[in-house]
Amino acid sequence: MKSLLLNTIKIAALLLVMGLSSCEKYLDIVPKGKKIPTTLADFDALLRDEYGNQRMDITQAILLLNDKFETASNLSYYKLYNANYNWDENADRIAFNNSDEGTYYNAYTAISTSNLIITNAGSATESSDADRKQLIAQAKILRALNYFVLANYYADTYEEATAAGKLSVPLILSADIGAAYTQVSIKELYDFMLKDITEALPDLRAQGATILHANIGSAYALAARIHLQMGQYAQALSAANEALKQNDKLYDWTEFYNKYKTQIEAPDQYVNAPSPMGYDFVENYSFRHGGRQYSSTEVNIRTDRATRFEQGDARFASRWKLRTVGADTYFKSITTGFYNYGGFTTTEVYLIKAECQARQNDISGAMNTLNAVRVKRILPQYYTALSATTVQDAVKLIQRTKGNELILGITPFADMRRLNKDPDYARTLTKTENGVSLSLSPASHLWTMPFPQGAIKNPGNGTITQNVNK
């Protein structure tokens, strides 16, 4: 396997220094211009490295969902893009995945940094014991979050009956180059993620040093997400409620829309309003970038994807606007700034809670929780409180809102994968592309991404088995 620290470890001597069993093995000579971390601040600098450790590239999942508009030139140039975007069952995505490795190596970069901190920050100087424990706990949450992305990208979704018998992804517990690892089962990986969270919670605080640092709320939000993915609704509901005790604020997108209404509604005007979804977003438990970590606009949205938003959705209308350029018509991004695609927000936790309430037959409670989110999104002239009479109807309404609210993050992809295993909720995606009708079956192998060729051809001190045939 490639060096997992290649893109993130800016203190190069760490590769040789960390993870050793005794102080006698530390380097006697520090490479010129480099520094061996000794203080807590040194280790903390690694955790908050936004380019290396605080971004989450899930491009292929977004393309598969058709949650963005992709240009014909990109589809022509990037064969893997085209295979996923146009649901080509015959494409050899393994052969195509020789350069699109961002998801895999970004995640394992952050995991490697987490491993380094977990192993070594306990002896950091210029800090209290509580501060050292907190940083180690934050690294465990970061590690578990990245394993969740990997598990729901490169392996089958969790099913209790089969999880112990199917392979997931490599479980790597060391930052050392050449460290041994095992490609564990799906069940083993999920158990490990929950273990990391359980161990971390006692040492976390209500607030971290920055919004990049995990806190109590983000740990419970991650636990709720994982338990929901496992179909453990009581545990997910309990964790969601604990997260909401830490923060239950919801941003009012109707107010944002009214504030910028003139420029949003002006014909042929695409002046960018500031994104409210950045570091100081009121809904944040913790923040993490998507594939990019610099201030920018969002991706553009397909016109058929836009139809799945509710009428009067101020959140959608505040972020995208219909535009035609040449032969292309799409919804163009009209905000600029930063976007919390990879962290945790109260909206996700509210909607996890709503689904868990519905699954446990508290349908009215589920609808109340769902409507608490919707009333902050749907413009008053369009808003009507939703109701449901069956669990299935309630879950479908919740998922409609959740898929729209969390668009461009990993959650809609993970949700659809788990729901596709249930005939009550499985859904075939359809579209028309260049006059051709296309569809994506709930049972398609395309829902699992192939490991990149770099990982397969250079596995290091372990073995990796592809989880798909193409």
- The pLDDT value recorded for residue 33 is 53
What secondary structure does DSSP assign to 92-113, as a single string?
-HHHHTTS--HHHHHHHHHHHH
CATH T-level fold of 245-286+297-336+343-405: 1.25.40
Q: pLDDT tens digit string along 218-250?
A: 999 999 999 999 999 999 999 999 999 999 999
> How many CB atoms sit inside 10 A of residue 460's CB?
18
SS3 125: strand
Of all residues in the chain, the percent with pLDDT exceeding 70 is 92
Is residue 4's pLDDT more than 60? no
Strands (E) located in 344-459: 344-345, 429-433, 436-440
Beta-bridged to residue 183, according to DSSP, are 170
Q: What is the mean pLDDT of residues 129-153?
A: 98
Q: pLDDT tens digit string along 303-317?
A: 999 999 999 999 999
- The pLDDT value recorded for residue 101 is 81
Q: Is 223 left (phi over 0), alpha (psi -120 to 50) or beta?
A: alpha
Model pTM score: 0.93
Q: pLDDT tens digit string along 314-323?
A: 999 999 999 9
CB proximity list for 457: less than 8 A, separation 6 or greater: none
Is residue 156's pLDDT more than 50? yes
Torsion of Cα atoms, 73 then 79 then 82 then 84, to 10°: -150
Of all residues in the chain, the percent with pLDDT exceeding 90 is 87
Q: pLDDT tens digit string along 273-293?
A: 999 999 999 999 999 999 988
Choice between 459 and 347, residue whose per-residue pLDDT is larger: 347
Q: What is the mean pLDDT of residues 130-158?
A: 98
Q: pLDDT tens digit string along 14-46?
A: 332 333 332 233 223 444 555 678 999 999 999
Is residue 404's pLDDT more than 80? yes
Q: What is the mean pLDDT of residues 89-116?
A: 92
User: Measuring CA to CA, which residue among 189, 187, 188, 192 is closest to residue 159?
Assistant: 187
**Residue 12 one-letter amino acid:** A
Residue count of the chain: 470
**Residue 81 one-letter amino acid:** Y
User: Measuring CA to CA, which residue among 424, 423, 374, 428 is closest to residue 398?
Assistant: 374
Q: Beta 335-336 vs 273-274: how paired, if at all? A: parallel
Q: What is the mean pLDDT of residues 174-182?
A: 92
CB proximity list for 373: less than 8 A, separation 6 or greater: 250, 347, 350, 351, 354, 401, 405
Q: What is the mean pLDDT of residues 395-413?
A: 98
Q: pLDDT tens digit string along 437-451?
A: 999 999 999 999 999
- The pLDDT value recorded for residue 268 is 87
- The pLDDT value recorded for residue 98 is 80
User: Measuring CA to CA, which residue among 36, 33, 78, 34 is closest to residue 60?
Assistant: 78
Same fold? 14-212+409-457, 245-286+297-336+343-405: yes
Separation of CA 443 from chain center: 22
Contact 137, 200 (CB under 8 A): yes
DSSP 375: T
User: Measuring CA to CA, which residue among 157, 181, 185, 163 is closest to residue 171?
Assistant: 181
- The pLDDT value recorded for residue 100 is 66
- The pLDDT value recorded for residue 35 is 67
Q: pLDDT class for 8, splitting at 50, 70, 90?
A: very low
CA distance 207 to 243: 13
List C-alpha distances in Å: 125 to 22, 197, 209.
16, 25, 18
List C-alpha distances in Å: 337 to 50, 210, 251, 280, 325.
15, 18, 17, 12, 23
Torsion of Cα atoms, 164 then 165 then 171 then 173, to 10°: 50
- The pLDDT value recorded for residue 27 is 28
CA distance 213 to 202: 15
Q: Where are the domains of the chain?
A: 14-212+409-457, 245-286+297-336+343-405
Tokens of 110: 């952050």
Query: Which alpha helices (H) appear in 266-379, and where do they start and end?
Result: 303-306, 314-319, 346-359, 363-374
- The pLDDT value recorded for residue 377 is 98
Is residue 380's pLDDT more than 50? yes
**Number of C-alpha atoms within 13 angstroms, CB side, residue 104?**
23
Q: pLDDT class for 197, splitting at 50, 70, 90?
A: very high
The CATH number corresponding to 14-212+409-457 among 3.30.365.10, 1.25.40.390, 3.30.420.40, 3.10.20.30 equals 1.25.40.390
Residue with tokens 């909720």: 425
- The pLDDT value recorded for residue 177 is 85
Q: What is the mean pLDDT of the chain?
A: 92
CA distance 151 to 171: 10
- The pLDDT value recorded for residue 2 is 42
Q: What is the mean pLDDT of residues 172-200?
A: 96
Tokens of 284: 């944040």
